[in-house]
Structure 1
């Protein structure tokens, strides 16, 4: 007589091992009779209850996290170590719909060994300053370390009771981007590590910045599992935001001032410059980092101004000035020469300058420092340049006693020029002719001086010249040459104009202490030259000892 085949359900009933099946939320949906034999609990009593109700409270987290070894409560209220490796079953969307496995009492491993392993695991978690977590699609967090309550205020039970808890507590502004990353991990086809930052709403309502270091674990035949570490980075993030806001405010202010910004590490000689810095010098495609700071600057600065620029910031580095500011000529990327102002301040550590930072300005864009009509520097630039010349000369005198005439390259002279009969030109021929006359005078003055000298328009028909590295006699000779050049007729349109100049000269031999002292002396000498029709008058220290020369 043929024996009818046994169905799978009948086979499960006959197995000596306990077969356990739960839904996605760990509710028991099937048990075979071996369950009662192993645990003492009746099958009917257990069906519909959570499997976690029978697990030791200290082991529920490890079971949810996928660790198959745990303690299970018997009907006698005793606990026995069991092994239960649950295999998940998923739907078309890879969401867990059920789990099943075989429950076996462990006899080959002693309870003491398992306790020690568990204690080591718990101690390890306590040393981590963050929340260790594990999650599965459709289930939510299957494991959370106890630090979740300290960092966010929620208990482990509160967090795990809702599969969508994490998504419900991510800041709304950060949720869309976080969900894109999260969903990609749940549906990944291979394992990989990833990281994301977001804000989480703590139980107190406080917003906590979280850095989440994650890994997606992809195993064939089971849903993707994520493991991660949530770290509170609120303090760090707030500091970053404050710095960003500060940088944005500073960037806005510097854009408003139209200056270029630079930062020079004196220990590494690395110079960092802003985009506006590059624009000012005509290097729009230039880089922002230069390994040799001074070598880069030397290529920009007119060779005749190198020494003066270096002297300006070295006086600051030596402690003689609270900051530095120096004007110089630079070669623009287009090939033309431009006047720039370079200023800054140093940072000192243990008396040693380690860093300098400041700004760079195009003086042609500063209306008060540059004369638009003649394209010459104005009064502020001239005063600044004269101040540097005075400081260099005084430094030389303080180091070597009374300055020597021969070989003393810090000697200088100041010339103040006032055009003769300029008002008559304006009154008879018009201001447009007078403007063109001033432009031609400016070009003649530039042609009469060297590259290291400075010609400036102070106001109206008044000009100043600063002669550097020149002794008293040479300065006087140069003044005569200028007077002769300016006395030659000018051709302006249909007009021929004759307009000489009265020139006052004062050299560094006078030993004045301030810029105003030199300008007053030059003005007094110029007034003497004009009132007595001398052409050139050299200041010698007393009104009765001025010497003049008449140019016809």
Structure 2
């Protein structure tokens, strides 16, 4: 206030009624002398404090929401019912700057004002989608809002006529737990808020799920009372139960599929994997959460396959493919490499991938499969045939191979030279057609007894059966020549070749992984050779 009050300020000092002014945050900025005469609180002690400090805690929300009647704490510690109709002063943007009003005891207010307050309160209750209630021990409900009839079919009078009515309508399966909470509130030594969820049986016999937001009120000299708001949450509960059943069905389907499940939050990097995911890779534990999903995966993927795996899911994230599926070698907990298939699909928001989820399959367990693009056998069938050839050769010889041995075989691994350039120059549709033509040339370059398989990307494997090292090398040169001839794809003429790694049957190579690693090493050596062909030599 100004140091020298204006004539209007001087009049406020003389008024017999208490004048109160607060700022937008309820801090008291002005009180006239009538405040102290009415409440007993010194004006200087009240200035700068929140008006809500003087209001009964239970009435704070009603005052802040605009209800003018509340209990105010006087200097002697008693609370008295007051009426304070605050008028806000706002700026050009309708933001409250201050509030002013006259404070009156309810005893001095006319009956018409009390009726007005009650009518406003009841109108407010009608806007609430729930039942507002109040109850006391031995009395039952002392107040119920009219919505009780709409939600449960019972009138207010029916409900209030019997102190035990609420307990008689609680579902038997929920009654014991509800009574424990109810009795604790009636016997409380201090006020507190609590919440209950239970089922009520309506007049129609229908079961209604209720969420009850409650508060027990403990005041000296009177029985404990409770106030609350009952909300019908039947639809929400039904949705929760259906979601639970859906999760159970999904879990059952997952166990039946024998695949590992994973879920990757691309915004945070957090990766969740299932117990089956761990089991496929021979890892300890029953599933886990990994803060850095890609770091966890990198430790599992054979380094030679990193680029292929990244390429597969990045193509999907860029929108080039509706989902992704890639085979790669993963390090098993036992220290060996296992072939797995990693597949999934991303969830996009505003064109940005925010989450991916999918499965991990053990290709050794999944059985034979064919590549949809080239119509060639896939990795599982190739491994099965190779393991069969290894077993036959070991059974027949158990020693050094000799010329003419019908169980001798050779494994070729090849990839196309410059395939990425084809994709980058003419697009993936041209690259796909090139792979299809390569597949047909490979099939025409081998015998019916041999097997051609597409392993992934532009990588192919050939199993040559009943063939010695010399004939296998000659067959590899014929394949290289066939693949180097120009390809006609639409209006484009595509020139490419292949780097081929070859390994012949040998007693020191005992597993399919041994042969595939050997062929892979020879193929990468072939990339630096003019002939494009490298034969893996087993050290004595």
Relative to structure 1, is the Cα distance of residues 327 and 317 closer, same or farther in structure 2, using a 3 angstrom cutoff?
same
Q: 1:443 maps to what in 2?
A: 510
Q: Deviations over 1:36-69 (max 9, x none)?
A: xxxxxxxxxxxxxxxxxxxxxxxxxxxxxxxxx9
Q: Deviations over 1:426-452 (max 9, x none)?
A: xxxxxxxxxxx9994753775566489
Relative to structure 1, is the Cα distance of residues 288 and 389 closer, same or farther in structure 2, using a 3 angstrom cutoff?
farther
Q: Deviations over 1:406-433 (max 9, x none)?
A: xxxx875633231459xxxxxxxxxxxx
Q: Secondary structure at the match of 2:510?
A: helix
Q: Deviations over 1:328-378 (max 9, x none)?
A: 222334544333221111223454433221011233444558xxxxxxx73
* Deviation for aligned residue 1:472: 9.4
Q: 1:347 maps to what in 2?
A: 347
Structure 2 residue 461 is the aligned partner of structure 1 residue 414: yes
Q: Deviations over 1:94-149 (max 9, x none)?
A: xxxxxxxxxxxx96431122122222322332232211111122222111111111
d(CA) in 2 for partners of 1:328, 1:277:
15
- Contact 1:260/1:278 (8 A) holds in 2: yes
d(CA) in 2 for partners of 1:365, 1:144:
65
* Deviation for aligned residue 1:309: 0.7
Relative to structure 1, is the Cα distance of residues 184 and 249 closer, same or farther in structure 2, using a 3 angstrom cutoff?
same
Relative to structure 1, is the Cα distance of residues 308 and 162 closer, same or farther in structure 2, using a 3 angstrom cutoff?
same
Q: Secondary structure at the match of 1:185?
A: helix
* Deviation for aligned residue 1:168: 1.4
Q: Secondary structure at the match of 1:189?
A: coil
Structure of greater Rg: 1
d(CA) in 1 for partners of 2:151, 2:417:
63
- Contact 2:383/2:512 (8 A) holds in 1: no
Superposed CA RMSD: 4.0
Unpaired segments of 5 or more residues in structure 2? 1-68, 70-80, 82-105, 370-378, 386-412, 432-456, 469-503
Relative to structure 1, is the Cα distance of residues 119 and 446 closer, same or farther in structure 2, using a 3 angstrom cutoff?
closer
Relative to structure 1, is the Cα distance of residues 206 and 306 closer, same or farther in structure 2, using a 3 angstrom cutoff?
same
Q: Secondary structure at the match of 1:278?
A: helix
Alignment of 1:56-205 (within 5 A): 108-205=108-205
- Contact 1:274/1:288 (8 A) holds in 2: yes
* Deviation for aligned residue 1:241: 1.3
Q: 2:536 maps to what in 1?
A: 481
TM-score by structure 2 length?
A: 0.54
Q: Deviations over 1:216-256 (max 9, x none)?
A: 22335543222111011112111111111111110111122
d(CA) in 2 for partners of 1:264, 1:308:
19
Q: Secondary structure at the match of 1:453?
A: helix
Q: Deviations over 1:24-44 (max 9, x none)?
A: xxxxxxxxxxxxxxxxxxxxx
Q: 1:338 maps to what in 2?
A: 338
Relative to structure 1, is the Cα distance of residues 439 and 226 closer, same or farther in structure 2, using a 3 angstrom cutoff?
farther
d(CA) in 2 for partners of 1:391, 1:274:
37
Q: 2:423 aligns with which of 383, 394, 398?
A: 398
- Contact 1:413/1:475 (8 A) holds in 2: no
- Contact 1:411/1:470 (8 A) holds in 2: no
Matched residue count:
339
* Deviation for aligned residue 1:156: 0.6
d(CA) in 2 for partners of 1:235, 1:223:
36
Q: 2:358 maps to what in 1?
A: 358
d(CA) in 2 for partners of 1:241, 1:392:
56
Q: Secondary structure at the match of 2:173?
A: coil
d(CA) in 2 for partners of 1:193, 1:186:
13
d(CA) in 2 for partners of 1:413, 1:469:
16
Alignment of 1:219-368 (within 5 A): 219-285=219-285, 288-366=288-366, 368=368
Relative to structure 1, is the Cα distance of residues 353 and 224 closer, same or farther in structure 2, using a 3 angstrom cutoff?
same
d(CA) in 1 for partners of 2:172, 2:297:
50
* Deviation for aligned residue 1:177: 2.0
- Contact 2:323/2:345 (8 A) holds in 1: yes
Unpaired segments of 5 or more residues in structure 1? 1-68, 70-82, 84-105, 370-376, 404-409, 422-436, 455-465, 489-552
Relative to structure 1, is the Cα distance of residues 467 and 173 closer, same or farther in structure 2, using a 3 angstrom cutoff?
farther
- Contact 1:198/1:211 (8 A) holds in 2: yes
Q: 2:17 maps to what in 1?
A: none
d(CA) in 1 for partners of 2:417, 2:533:
23
d(CA) in 1 for partners of 2:297, 2:532:
34
d(CA) in 1 for partners of 2:210, 2:414:
59
- Contact 1:195/1:213 (8 A) holds in 2: yes
